[in-house]
A and B are shown apart, each in its own frame.
Chain A
Amino acid sequence: MVAASVESIRETSPAAMRSRPVLETLVAVVLSIVAGSVVLLITGHDPVEVYRALIERAVLRPAGLEETVVRATPLMITGVAVLIAVRAGIWNIGIDGQVLVAALAAAVAAALVTDAGRPVVWLTATVAGLVAGAAWALPAALLRARFGVNEIVTTIMFNYVALFLTAWLVKGPLRDRSVVSPQTELIPRELRLVSLGDTRTHAGIIVALVLVVLVGWALRRTVAGLELRVVGENPRAAAVALIPVRAYLFGALVVSGAVGGLAGANDILSTKGTFQAEWDPGYGFTAFALVFLARRSAWALVPGALLLGMLAYGADVMPRAAGIDPAFFGVIEGTLLASLAAPVLIRGLLARRTRKEVR
């Protein structure tokens, strides 16, 4: 796994301890832009024009910026979910499953209380999402903490179970019979999360930002956050320092699942309003990309999610606007991660530059 190699290099190389994460990340971003330009030139486009159009449509136009933020919101939340696990040294590859199960739970629970008014709908859906996400991570957490079963395998397996289980439930027992396509009962727009002013951007981004701040603070400033990080950095040293390692492995995976579930509930309460069969947003892998783009820092999830949100919106809008294939944005994302995974290369580039400066 690409991301794993980033970790192992950073864990062992003393040089990494003196690394300049912000500068290195920026170099990786520049490298991916350059690589993207090469692809654009080969396919007969003008790179400058394409990037200009992307910035204009996804950032400078108010409607585009709103879409970028809307797409960044679930990435930010799932990024926090991945981060909590990663900082404890475990890999929650099951975000996608947790999002699906939680979204379905939130949609069904919210539909039950639509008569009770907005705050109750929000609270019910949120709690249902958190609980369902945590519950979906629970088996993997138990197996890992109790028997040392690799959580990567179990969480991936649970993604498939979640995908087909939710699809079956929506096509069968939980289906809203009043509409043709298989989906749950639609939550009316006026009961969903409020928009910020007169925009498509909704209160979900506030939740995401609060979550980032809260988790970033907790990791740095609380006993639990410190102990969790020690477990992630060196579980043997954690045990010697009297930290209950297994409890943290368990807890981190369950909390990670709960936060992943929050992303599912957020989607239902904002853009979706209903759970449609075989809906699968696939946030999980992008969330991993985000966490490594952010160099495992909570704060850096915010600009990272906005960048990835911009690319996601670009993939939606650019085919029509400039005739760029959506796959192009996958290329950008891929080269970005590849260059992040090659810190040696980046450090080499930076070192050469530094030497020149010294002379």
Chain B
Amino acid sequence: MTPQELSDRFEIRALIVRYSNALDARRFELLDEVFTADAYIDYRATGGIDGCYPKIRAWLPPAVNAFPHMCHLVANIGIALAGDAARARTLCLNPVEVALPAGAAQVMFLGMWYRDQLVRTAHGWRMRERVQEGCIRHNVPAHLQIPAARDA
């Protein structure tokens, strides 16, 4: 690998981690440094919405603040570089603490992949598309509606 390719791969990995950390720290403003302004995001595989970044950015805080604790552990980051564009596939293990209607809480475990399209900008690499693909669901509380993962 050339130094340029090493650098690109490091930056893209850091971008994917920055998304998780921004979400998990509930610092939604940091997502402005992750996505392009017109990025397309699709959370429908785990019961969310899809749309362009400004719509998603407004939707996220109330949607996520319903969960007292959560984290988005990413791994298996497979990156395909093509000059100033790139694609990545990333596995995410996502434990989410859900408050129960009768009180107390329950931790559910969601597994998913992120299919990302990335672009090099004047400010560094940015995500211009992120689409979720559902995998496992474990211990989901009965009152939550999460669509079943489609068969591949």
User: Do A and B share a complex?
Assistant: no
Interface residues of A (CB under 8 A from B): none
